[in-house]
Structure 1
């Protein structure tokens, strides 16, 4: 497996991203980067990004949650951000991403975790929480789901999958802008492009759409069904925090609210914004997390 590593200089001076880098090897010679802010002794809040973003997506939320007294960890998935990037699309699979993330989680020995996830962060995070439920105390999902391949996918997703697989042009910054209602600055667009100095570095971003289970015989479908069996008995707090402008995940919040016992009676909320609600409503999203943790402390 040929592994690419983005030069650290490309991340110098990014707007609103002052966080010290942390690295952990999840395989020999394959390192994962993560942000680790706030008190080291505090219960962790794990923020998982999706496609084709990286921990930069959470830059406005991380300080707010950390300043409220919580430890915030935001890893860059392998293939994204400051993490290493296997060079071939075939190097990536759903199960491989799960293995990398599990190694990271277990090596840091995180416990009493509040999971915050969106997009592919939900496909990985909900599996992670189901498979390591003893490590998680709460789940907050924004614009995400855990598909098993049994339900039809929106037409817009089929188009996106074809584009990611076949288009010679894969403009990461513009893709994030398409999923964001507010206009990103030129510097913010450049920050989303920073991990990818050339097309060779984008294999992980191109791979994700084709890894989503879309049929009953998908290799990851059975593992996701097993995860749902755990989630259907999940009685710890489960909150949804979706936006009002995402055509891909619309309705997923109500589906999870009905199906997951821990979602019953929770203060679910719909925020303003597009697919990347961390860009459109970061303060409100952070407030949901902080209030949920306050409720635990009060109880």
Structure 2
């Protein structure tokens, strides 16, 4: 799905205004899809239509700092608490007391955080290749291989240089990162053009990177348990995140399961859309 049947609106929240794609019946159960780095709403293009056809009210924001949404200045604006508060405010804007949450990558970290902090607002939680943020530090201390996979996070802490590197030559480095870390054909040239357009929005790359810069400022605390039903979908060929992070995240869930994809990478929603959609539809209904 590349936009057919999708409606767009701008939603004013207390702190920011978000560009939101939506589909499905307005009376359907509200379901928020949260993208990760370096995507935007379009990262869910294969899921929006099938979920809407299943009767869900699908709500897909460009999260703050991304795409056509607001890009507040300063690293503090991208603290995980504030990103999670955006999700709750978005639910409020749609008149939803509770929502179904789906998150991938950074969107998955936000979704985990919402479910941990505000379980009364989440009916169920689906995660694609994203660890609970509270387990990452301890996991990396015991698994040096994951630390090596995460060295790019250190690069992103530098001021200005990462922005220059990642926007040079129409985002060449990021385009290459997407295509080399995914199965051939997962991202077409037309798809990449859409991504480049989003990355080159004024202030977007700094906003996107500020998510990483704010993450290292999180206080270390005991992981808050996740009490809502959880489905974790995980591609084992993820070059950035070890499968053990999925198991560590599941360990702090009261009710959850992992569906492994042996041949899929970090980008399993693009590589295995039919299977991912079937799993999400069965779980979210």
Give yes or no for TM over 0.5: yes
**TM, length-normalised to structure 2:** 0.83
Question: Shift of the alpha carbon at 1:91?
Answer: 4.6
Pair 95,261 (structure 1): closer, same or farther in 2 beyond 3 Å: closer
- Residue 147 of structure 2 corresponds to 154
Structure 2, unmatched stretches of 5+, are 141-145
Pair 271,70 (structure 1): closer, same or farther in 2 beyond 3 Å: farther
Pair 198,132 (structure 1): closer, same or farther in 2 beyond 3 Å: closer
SS in structure 2 at match of 1:114: strand
- Residue 253 of structure 1 corresponds to 246
RMSD (CA atoms)? 2.4
Q: Distance in 2 between matches of 1:257 and 1:91?
A: 29
Work out which of the residue numbers 22, 25, 40 in structure 1 matches 2:12. 25
Q: Deviations over 1:41-91 (max 9, x none)?
A: 111222111111111000011101111221111111011122122355565
Q: Distance in 2 between matches of 1:221 and 1:178?
A: 33
Which deviates more from structure 2 when the two are superposed, residues 147-156 or residues 17-26? Answer: 147-156
List aligned pairs for 1:232-271, cutoff 5 A.
234=227, 236-250=228-242, 251-263=244-256, 266=257, 268-270=259-261
Q: Is the 8 A contact 1:271 1:277 kept in 2?
A: no
SS in structure 2 at match of 1:138: strand
Q: Distance in 1 between matches of 2:202 and 2:155?
A: 17
Question: Shift of the alpha carbon at 1:207?
Answer: 1.6
- Residue 229 of structure 1 corresponds to 224
- Residue 267 of structure 2 corresponds to 276
Q: Is the 8 A contact 1:174 1:189 kept in 2?
A: no
Q: Distance in 1 between matches of 2:91 and 2:219?
A: 20
Give the length in aligned residue pairs.
Answer: 266
SS in structure 2 at match of 1:219: coil
Q: Is the 8 A contact 2:224 2:252 kept in 1?
A: no
Structure 1, unmatched stretches of 5+, are 1-14, 295-299
Q: Distance in 2 between matches of 1:274 and 1:288?
A: 17
Q: Distance in 1 between matches of 2:123 and 2:68?
A: 28
